[in-house]
């Protein structure tokens, strides 16, 4: 169980880290400061400067061969293991736009995996190439407003077959990336047969984002932020017609696709969250050494030594657990790795939230302001406790896996 | 130690609760939706509708005699005890603009107390009357960007006497309420004698907010929000001239004023935070009863019963501790009550943050969106762990009070 | 809601505190050191010295009129409120044998309440007088080894009517106080009708402890201690004949008696646990001030200030919650007070365990040894998380009470 | 960084696990039940049956070649890595006497390492061979009653040179294993030069346990248990004469020896604690599946799924951290591994305590009794938060290592 930095990935880590620090970080703040400055006033249009920043960095990354690392075990990319990728994703997590710069960002990597693994040649031709090149973006259209979507069997957005098309109707929300004008692909989960067995009711579709009948109702806010231009949109589908060829894997197999998609994506989020925690700890130490109160450095006051030590221990443990989950995926496959993926899905966002919270506290009121990245990081990792399934669902999975060691009955 | 609802305050609680629910809550969302809609595009200007909402509600509150409850033990107001006021403040905490509607909002109550307790007749005449009537707002100008302000002895913003004026120079940030165009009064802490003993270096001034030389550098953001039009401003003072009559209590007595001011203000924040926790628990229960997953009500899944029970217990305990701190203030004075004020200052925001966090989790992704108040409440109570002193400083106070029982030495 | 020390109880607190410190504490260690020194080698026989200590102290307490405080709202005792009693119980919690010295110890107080409230004149005559005088002890015989007794409906120990007797058969364990040779009364819960409705299957009996057919199988150990001579026995009943007159309240009404009994007993445990936490905090402060390491007092190292502050806050809150539960009992009755009793039942032992744990840590290895009371206190309060219902059952009660505010359905 | 089970160690794990379960576990209870049954009544004498059990199992282990695994990287033993040994130690942790059966028990392994690494040929000849064969036991004599021994520079037990001897005087306590009649070796830390630099004041001695002048004052109790016949003794040395040849490494080099000794020992404790947590989780699951209340299996009640999931996650993380610390020792040496050793030293006992606590709670009152191993395990792992340095000292080490990344100054 080699969880370490391999000789192969070591130079890539160094290159990614350097590019994140030197090239991306300075432009990240500028990119975000540009939001809302499009002449139209539309926050969901990129300004020219935003596109320059993104495209410039992406070109640079490609030139340096730092691209599509997430394609683990594949001929198309570096053929890295998930363990190796984890170390790269951690670095990318430290700056907001970094993952996109290396074409390793959610939800695109998960969507590309769907196409790669389950798509037809036609699907791949239409969308996969452009996604792999970073020319378009994509969205995963699953969550619904009127039900607890953590129990996906409840999804009631409808697709009804009419001849050689399906007609889609209903609402979806929290569709991340659907705000981006470059978003070209939707992968949509819809109920096709309400009478079927619980896990055979739903079907996965691929479709162009600009298919008629899709209405952008509003951007969902995340703690008051719209995350423009990426966005998390509330969509309404009215008689949206999708050809039958756009079904992924087959009618009624939506759950299968969804399960296969979620493993890697979940763990990528965790890797990046660990990178954020690592960054927060560094900021906490530096601030605590730089400021004084009551005649002492902040680190020497109160429980700060213990707070720093606890942060180090919790980061270290979460990273190791994440690496083990990655190793399980590499060696045993997503299915068998599932309980470990659930474990790290619970652990990493909670840990990162805690470490960032303490780092904010060490920064005083500045820590919650625009002057440091901590405030954004804190609210962002909080969202990961919902993304790809809330903590409660993952704890349930872990407990069931544990109990199955002792009973044959379903628990 | 009567911590209960008295016969005198019971009907007031009922009236306040009803007005908050029926009259204020429906307009609160509208008030906030108006932000940024002033024709000038200036987020820190109220729209006409905003002023209508505020003034209408304030008039209604006055007509009903629901006004200035915070004036505890005073002839001007109801003469409520702090314990009685706690129950009212809790209700006001449940809706954003409610405290202002009853003229019980921070930082005005604290500032009015400064005037009442330490101000000259001239100070009172100039500002207190209008504040008590809710005609103007005010700001407390203390925190500085370049030092850890939790150790107030480090404040280095300067006031230098020149004839019958002091000339003020320096920067201050996190000046809450300074964004409001109605803000008429600044209470400013400045260093007047760097050579004096540690707690005699600073002086408190009162001054008109529009005194020449005050520059609004920028609004500080709270987790990405500017809280316009109230705002938390970063200010720069350049040769601001303040007449010597505007000194409060005397040169070098700034600490004394600051200490006296903070007791009640700290506890009012806590009372409102408890109200928010109570509201979050209610929302958590209702959502958990209304939604289903895996064939069960959400409350019946996972650890939700325990989460609800823990929330109830923690709210109950924090409320009782807050009431005891209030009772100490009522019966023993702010000074002796200090360790209890520090205790509740640590406990209440942490508790409220935890309960709101769980309530968000019960709401799924909706919980962090604009569709519920929880996201705003969660980030808001997080700020209270800095406001009026960070947790670490208050824990230190509590520990020192405890240790002083056993040693005569200063600890 | 007066939760304070009343004028009536203030002098009693002072007297009890003084007697605990001066008279009882010095003999407590000696009492326990005598265990096992009876000439017979039987740890469950008192030595002469043990009886001298106990009887001497009890006589002293009686002479001083410090006796049977727990008889709240009764003519027989002081007629204290439960709130007033709480302050006394807290003092008694600080030294092991103190509660018995004042005839305020478990399980006798609960058992006396059963007799007082539900017993016939014959029952009272036979046992109550002697218990009130502290001449005999008693045991409450409920918990069974083969089922989860927290769901008391599962109790399967049988009582079958034969003529004017019931014949009892089965096993019971954790029968506290049954090891004491002075134990004269058993109150036994037995299933009389397996076919009846869930809460009408069981009946409560009173009986002499020396009734033939009762076999003492073994003392249960509490973290390796047998708590001799008090003990927590595992008993077997074989054809034990109890006259029908010994039924309490009526056949099938066992649950009613059990419920009525538990309220006060649960809260008395909590009060004493709070006393132990208070004592542990005092020990923690004193030790932390007395010892040095790395050139500083222990209190000044690491997170110790925060640990002390947190302990103070948690004790304060738990005490207030306990007092509120007591006040609910005094003013609303046991039934309505139930959710508060459940709350404090969860909170107090957890809090005390935590504070004592930190106090041990401050004492270094000495903290877990015989040289301080902390080790015993720590394991003792751990047992309270089972006694009178495990935490999980009480959290469930609290959650249900909360949810019932919003639904009419049973939850 | 291979943290997995190697091909080399896999069959050893299987053999050790099988021997622990089949051969040792059934005799462990009997061994402990024999304590105190020696005809002399002396709890610190083994009964014949105890010696039969121990010697029989040790012979069996030797015959099977399951012996001295702890000798990592050595020619004498298997030459296992510390990572490999971790998996074996985890199995040994599950049953009380197992570690001794395989000659892998504290404090002997640490003491043997002292001899191996720092001892002279004469020291090795006299004690090491017999220890490696399991013929004698040993004790490490460091902790003192009158000072906070976590700051070892404070140790004041004296050794004064007189000619070719040192004369030792003073008290030591918590000398684990000194109760065992087979204990043949003491390794003693004593102050030789109070005037020397802080870390050059002390010297380490080896000596026969029966050297005249050593007095066994009393066994220290661990939560009321004396852990006989192993024991943790309080010793008094009166003019104990030790020849100068018995100095280890040189006068004034006691700290160096102590540091070298502690790395492996600390981590072995952690490995075994993880084994105990794993065992507790298994017991928790099995009990929760076997018992019912309120019509459901216990695991389905309350927060039990979450409790099980959390236990699994925390065990998994602690194990990985322990393995990483082991890997650091294997590849970088004890000195560089120090911060990781401190991390796991904090994490493992806390984690194990928590998991065992929850397992007890799932067992109801039985969980704290003699009927299950949980009560002993719970108090035992609590002692590990003192052994080899309290948590606070280790957190301090971790924090300092973290801060040293950013400052050159000593922190």
Please write down the HEC assignment for all residues of B29-64.
HHHHHCCCCCCCCCCCCCCHHHHHHHHHHHHHHHHC
Domain at C256-403, CATH class: mainly alpha
Q: What percent of chain B has pLDDT over 90?
A: 91
**CA-nearest residue of chain B to D305?**
B302
Going by their DSSP bridges, the two strands D183-191 and D137-141 should be labelled as parallel
Å between D390 CA and nearest CA of chain A: 13
Res. A79: pLDDT tops 90 = no
List the domain boundaries for chain B. Answer: 10-105, 137-252, 255-403
Cβ contact D237:D212 at 8 Å = no
D411 vs A316: CB contact, 8 Å cut-off?
A: no
- What letter would DSSP give residue D221? P
Cβ contact C102:C77 at 8 Å = no
- Whether cis (ω within 30° of 0) applies to the bond prior to C298 is no
Give SS3 for B160: strand
Q: With helix as H, strand as E and coil as C, how does chain C read?
A: CECCCCCCCHHHHHHHHHHHHHHHHHHHHHHHHCCCCCCCCCCCCCCHHHHHHHHHHHHHHHHCCCCCCCCCCCCCCCCCCHHHHHHHHHHHCCCCCHHHHCCCCCCHHHHHHHHHHHCCHHHHHHHHHHHHCCCCEEEEECCCCCCCCCCHHHCCCEEEEECCEEEEEEEEEEEECCCCCCEEEEEEEEECCCCCCHHHCEEEEEEECCCCCEEEEEECCECCECCCCCCEEEEEEEEEEEEHHHEECCCCCHHHHHHHHHHHHHHHHHHHHHHHHHHHHHHHHHHHHHCEECCEEHHHCCCHHHHHHHHHHHHHHHHHHHHHHHHHHHHHCHHHHHHHHHHHHHHHHHHHHHHHHHHHHHCHHHHHCCCCCHHHHHHHHHHCCCCCCCHHHHHHHHHHHHHCCCCCCCC
Å between D152 CA and nearest CA of chain B: 26
* Positions of E strands within C10-148: 137-141
Enclosing H/E stretch for B405: none
**CA-nearest residue of chain A to C300?**
A302
Average pLDDT score, chain B? 94
Specify which residues B219 forms β-bridges with.
B233
Å between B13 CA and nearest CA of chain A: 31
Å between B294 CA and nearest CA of chain A: 6
pLDDT tens digits, residue range C155-211? 999 999 999 999 999 999 999 999 999 999 999 999 999 999 999 999 999 999 999
**Considering only CB atoms, which chain C residues are within 8 Å of D369?**
220-222
**Considering only CB atoms, which chain D residues are within 8 Å of C301?**
392, 396
Distance of alpha carbon A281 from its chain centroid, rounded?
A: 22
Task: Give the mean model confidence (pLDDT) for residues A34-44.
Answer: 94
**What are A's interface residues with C at a Cβ cutoff of 8 A?**
302-303, 305-306
Distance of alpha carbon C180 from its chain centroid, rounded?
A: 15
D383 vs C391: CB contact, 8 Å cut-off?
A: no
D305 vs B306: CB contact, 8 Å cut-off?
A: no
pLDDT tens digits, residue range A166-202? 999 999 999 999 999 999 999 999 999 999 999 999 9
- Cα-flanking dihedrals φ and ψ of residue D150, to 5°? -65, -25
Å between B222 CA and nearest CA of chain A: 5
Chains with 3 or more CB pairs under 8 A to chain D: A, B, C
Res. D125: pLDDT tops 70 = yes
pLDDT tens digits, residue range C72-126? 877 676 789 999 999 999 999 999 999 999 999 999 999 999 999 999 999 999 9
**What gap in Å lies between CA C254 and CA D127, rounded to an integer?**
67
**What gap in Å lies between CA D115 and CA C125, rounded to an integer?**
74
In this structure, whether the domain defined by A137-252 belongs to CATH 1.10.3300.10 is answered with no
- The token pair that represents D63 in the structure block: 């015959």
**Considering only CB atoms, which chain A residues are within 8 Å of D396?**
305, 309
Å between D300 CA and nearest CA of chain B: 9
Domain A10-105: which CATH number of 3.30.9.10, 3.40.50.80, 1.10.540.10, 3.90.660.10: 1.10.540.10
Which of these, C393, C400, C402, lies nearest to C345 by C-alpha position? C393
Q: Looking at residue B61, what is its pLDDT?
A: 97
Q: Looking at residue D260, what is its pLDDT?
A: 83
**Considering only CB atoms, which chain B residues are within 8 Å of A398?**
none
Going by their DSSP bridges, the two strands C296-297 and D158-162 should be labelled as unpaired
Q: Which residues contact A216 (CB under 8 A, 6 or more apart)?
A: A178, A179, A233, A234, A235
* Positions of E strands within B88-194: 137-141, 158-162, 165-176, 183-191
A224 vs B220: CB contact, 8 Å cut-off?
A: no
Chains with 3 or more CB pairs under 8 A to chain C: A, B, D
**Considering only CB atoms, which chain C residues are within 8 Å of A306?**
302-303, 306
Cβ contact D224:C375 at 8 Å = yes
Enclosing H/E stretch for C358: helix C334-362
D398 vs A2: CB contact, 8 Å cut-off?
A: no
- Whether cis (ω within 30° of 0) applies to the bond prior to A385 is no
Which of these, C246, C252, C249, lies nearest to C261 by C-alpha position? C249
Give SS3 for A326: helix
Q: Looking at residue C410, what is its pLDDT?
A: 54
Q: Provide the CB-side half-sphere exposure for A382 (13 A, CA).
A: 27
Task: Give the mean model confidence (pLDDT) for residues C384-395.
Answer: 93
Candidates B302, B307, B309, B361: best to mutate against D (most CBs of D within 10 A) is: B302
Chains with 3 or more CB pairs under 8 A to chain B: A, C, D
Q: How many CB pairs under 8 A join A and C?
A: 12
Provide ipTM, 2 decimals. Answer: 0.95
Q: Looking at residue B259, what is its pLDDT?
A: 86
For the ranges A65-74, B121-130, B281-290, C394-403, the lowest mean pLDDT is seen at A65-74
Specify which residues A176 forms β-bridges with.
A232
Residue B273: pLDDT band by 50, 70, 90 thresholds? Answer: very high
Going by their DSSP bridges, the two strands D296-297 and D292-293 should be labelled as antiparallel
Q: Looking at residue A367, what is its pLDDT?
A: 95
**What gap in Å lies between CA C376 and CA C374, rounded to an integer?**
5
Enclosing H/E stretch for D393: helix D391-403
Q: Which residues contact C220 (CB under 8 A, 6 or more apart)?
A: C173, C174, C226, C232, C233, C234, D365, D369, D370
Cβ contact D203:D190 at 8 Å = yes
**What gap in Å lies between CA A289 and CA A284, rounded to an integer?**
9
Residue B79: pLDDT band by 50, 70, 90 thresholds? Answer: confident
Specify which residues C140 forms β-bridges with.
C187
Which of these, C194, C145, C152, C16, lies nearest to C88 by C-alpha position? C16
| Residue length of chain B | 411
- Whether cis (ω within 30° of 0) applies to the bond prior to B379 is no
**CA-nearest residue of chain D to B303?**
D303
Nearest by CB to C151, which of D220, D294, D390?
D294
Cβ contact A158:A191 at 8 Å = yes
Res. C136: pLDDT tops 60 = yes
**Considering only CB atoms, which chain A residues are within 8 Å of D5?**
1
* Positions of E strands within A69-201: 137-141, 158-162, 165-176, 183-191
Average pLDDT score, chain A? 94
Cβ contact A272:A90 at 8 Å = yes
A392 vs B224: CB contact, 8 Å cut-off?
A: no
Chains with 3 or more CB pairs under 8 A to chain A: B, C, D
Res. B399: pLDDT tops 60 = yes
**Axis crossing angle, helix C334-362 with helix C254-290, rounded to the nearest 10:** 30
pLDDT tens digits, residue range B274-332? 999 999 999 999 999 999 999 999 999 999 999 999 999 999 999 999 999 999 999 99
Task: Give the mean model confidence (pLDDT) for residues B377-388.
Answer: 94
Give SS3 for A233: strand
- The token pair that represents B404 in the structure block: 């002083």
- What letter would DSSP give residue D201? S
Tell me which CATH code domain A255-403 carries: 1.20.140.10
For the ranges A250-264, B80-94, B217-231, B357-371, the lowest mean pLDDT is seen at A250-264
**What are C's interface residues with A at a Cβ cutoff of 8 A?**
302-303, 305-306
Cβ contact C157:C191 at 8 Å = yes
Task: Give the mean model confidence (pLDDT) for residues C225-233.
Answer: 95
Q: What angle do CA A408, A409, A411 make, to 5 degrees?
A: 115
Sign of the C-alpha dihedral, residues A382, A386, A389, A390? positive
D368 vs C302: CB contact, 8 Å cut-off?
A: no
Q: Looking at residue D409, what is its pLDDT?
A: 59
pLDDT tens digits, residue range D313-340? 999 999 999 999 999 999 998 889 999 9
**Considering only CB atoms, which chain B residues are within 8 Å of C285?**
402-403, 405-406
Res. D411: pLDDT tops 90 = no
User: How is B347-377 classified by DSSP, letter by letter?
Assistant: HHHHHHHHHHHHHHHHTGGGGGSTTSSHHHH
Give SS3 for C176: strand
Distance of alpha carbon A177 from its chain centroid, rounded?
A: 11
Which of these, D135, D127, D23, D11, lies nearest to D69 by C-alpha position? D11
Nearest by CB to A223, which of B154, B220, B368?
B368
**CA-nearest residue of chain B to A350?**
B357
Task: Give the mean model confidence (pLDDT) for residues C50-65.
Answer: 96
Å between D291 CA and nearest CA of chain A: 13
C312 vs B286: CB contact, 8 Å cut-off?
A: no
**What gap in Å lies between CA A245 and CA A198, rounded to an integer?**
24
Residue C409: pLDDT band by 50, 70, 90 thresholds? Answer: low
Å between A306 CA and nearest CA of chain C: 6
Q: Looking at residue A128, what is its pLDDT?
A: 95
Which of these, D404, D321, D337, D395, lies nearest to D150 by C-alpha position? D395
Residue D265: pLDDT band by 50, 70, 90 thresholds? Answer: confident
Longest dimension (CA), chain A: 79
Average pLDDT score, chain C? 94
**CA-nearest residue of chain C to A299?**
C302
C318 vs B316: CB contact, 8 Å cut-off?
A: no
């Amino acid at each position: 169980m080699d969880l370490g930095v391999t000789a192969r990935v070591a130079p890539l880590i160094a290159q990614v880290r350097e590019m994140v620090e030197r090239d991306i970080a300075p432009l990240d703040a500028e990119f975000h400061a540009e939001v809302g400055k499009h002449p139209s006033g539309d926050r969901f249009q990129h300004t020219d400067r935003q596109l320059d920043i993104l495209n410039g960095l992406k070109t640079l990354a490609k030139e340096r061969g730092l691209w599509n690392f997430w394609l683990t075990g594949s001929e198309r990319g570096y053929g890295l293991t998930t363990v190796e990728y984890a170390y790269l994703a951690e670095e990318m997590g430290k700056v907001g736009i970094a993952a996109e710069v290396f074409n390793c960002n959610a939800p695109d990597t998960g969507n590309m995996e769907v196409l790669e693994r389950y798509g037809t040649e036609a699907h791949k031709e239409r969308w996969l190439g452009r996604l792999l090149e970073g020319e378009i973006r994509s969205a995963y259209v699953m969550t619904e407003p009127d039900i607890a979507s953590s129990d996906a069997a409840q999804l009631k957005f409808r697709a009804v077959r009419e001849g050689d098309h399906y007609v889609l109707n209903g609402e979806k929300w929290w569709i991340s990336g659907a705000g981006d004008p470059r978003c070209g692909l939707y992968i949509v989960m819809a109920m096709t047969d309400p009478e079927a067995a619980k896990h055979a009711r739903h079907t996965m579709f691929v479709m162009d984002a600009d298919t008629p009948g899709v209405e952008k109702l509003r951007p969902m806010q995340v703690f008051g932020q719209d995350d423009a231009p990426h966005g998390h949109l509330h969509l309404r589908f009215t008689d949206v017609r999708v050809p039958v060829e756009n079904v992924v894997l087959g009618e009624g197999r939506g759950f299968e696709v969804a399960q296969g998609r979620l493993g890697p994506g979940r763990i990528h989020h965790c890797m990046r969250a660990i990178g954020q925690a690592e960054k927060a700890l560094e900021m906490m130490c530096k601030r605590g050494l730089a400021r004084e109160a009551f005649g002492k450095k902040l680190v020497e006051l109160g429980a700060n030594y213990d707070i720093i030590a606890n942060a180090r221990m919790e980061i270290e443990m979460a990273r190791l657990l994440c690496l083990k989950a990655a190793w399980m995926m590499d060696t045993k496959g997503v299915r068998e790795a599932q309980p470990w993926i659930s474990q790290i899905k619970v652990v990493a966002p909670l840990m990162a939230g805690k470490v960032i919270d303490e780092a904010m506290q060490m920064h005083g009121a500045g820590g919650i302001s625009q002057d440091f990245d901590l405030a954004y990081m804190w609210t962002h990792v909080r969202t990961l406790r919902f993304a790809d399934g809330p903590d409660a669902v993952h704890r349930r999975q872990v407990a069931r896996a544990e109990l199955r060691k002792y009973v044959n009955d379903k628990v």
